[in-house]
Structure formats: C-alpha cells, structure tokens
Amino acid sequence: MRKMLLPIDSENVPEKVLTYLKDFVPCMEYEVTLLNVISSDRIRMNKEADGVYDIKPLDLETPSNEMLTSFEETLKSEGINSVVTMIKAGEPSETIVEIAESGDFHVILMCTHGMGAAKRLLIGSVTNKVVHHSSVPVIVIRE
C-alpha cells in the first residue's frame, strides 16, 4: 500500500482537501497519515514562562490528538479507512520533511494558506519550505 502524509495544523481542514482525498485515495489505495507538528517554539515558550503557564508537552498534545481524531473520523465516514495519526514536536517544515523521508512516504499533501509573495518572503511558509526541501513529491492544494 502506498503512503500519503497529510500535515494538518488546525481543525479547519479545507473542504478542497477532503474532496481531493475522497477522489484520489480510494482509487490509488493510499494509507493516509495525519500529522500534527507541535512547534518547538510553543514548547519552549511554555517552559520559559517560569510557572505562569505551566503547560507540559502532553497538555499541548491533547488538543492535537482531538483534532486528529476528529479528522480521522471524518475521513472514515467518507470511506477512507486506512488512516494513521501522528503527533510530533519540532520545527514544522523540518519535521514534515524528516517524517516523509524516513517513513517511506510516496507523497505529501499540503495546503497553502493564501500567503502573498511579500509575506512569504518575510516569514516563509511551511508549505514553501517543504516543497523546496523534500525529496518526496508534494501536492499543494490552494486554499
């Protein structure tokens, strides 16, 4: 079975992604891995808060786990039954590329967030970095 990596960072996965998955995954027999990367900056910020926001990595994982479980249920209700969920901590683009390459994935499916050229130049985007650094093919869906 072929493997597709789908990094998601919010509960609001665009309808275009769901439509693409419904059309593409069954005919190609893909296992879909839903990945949420908890930014290492969020973990560091919580550690440096000196007890004011005493949030542990597990506390950050709970909302991620709920989000992934919800989307997994949505996919299964649409007939996409081979779904795996994964939560990792790190710099998002680097972590996505590392997981894709070390996990023998065949394709990465990502969304843009409509970021303009000027904003992308200043801060970069996770999708842009993954496209330019991954040896695994990336399918980008414009949001």
Looking at per-residue pLDDT, the higher value among 99 and 27 belongs to: 99
Which pLDDT belongs to residue 59? 56
Question: Can you list the domains of the chain with their CATH numbers?
Answer: 2-37+63-141 (3.40.50.620)
Claim: this prediction has a pTM higher than 0.85: no
Which pLDDT belongs to residue 28? 78
pLDDT digits (tens, 9 = 90+) for 80-104: 989 999 988 889 999 999 999 999 9
Res 52 pLDDT > 70: no
Tell me the average pLDDT across 123-130: 80
Q: Cα dihedral sign for 50, 124, 112, 109?
A: negative
Q: Report the distance separating Cα 27 and Cα 51, nearest Å.
A: 51
CA 79 from chain center: how many Å? 20
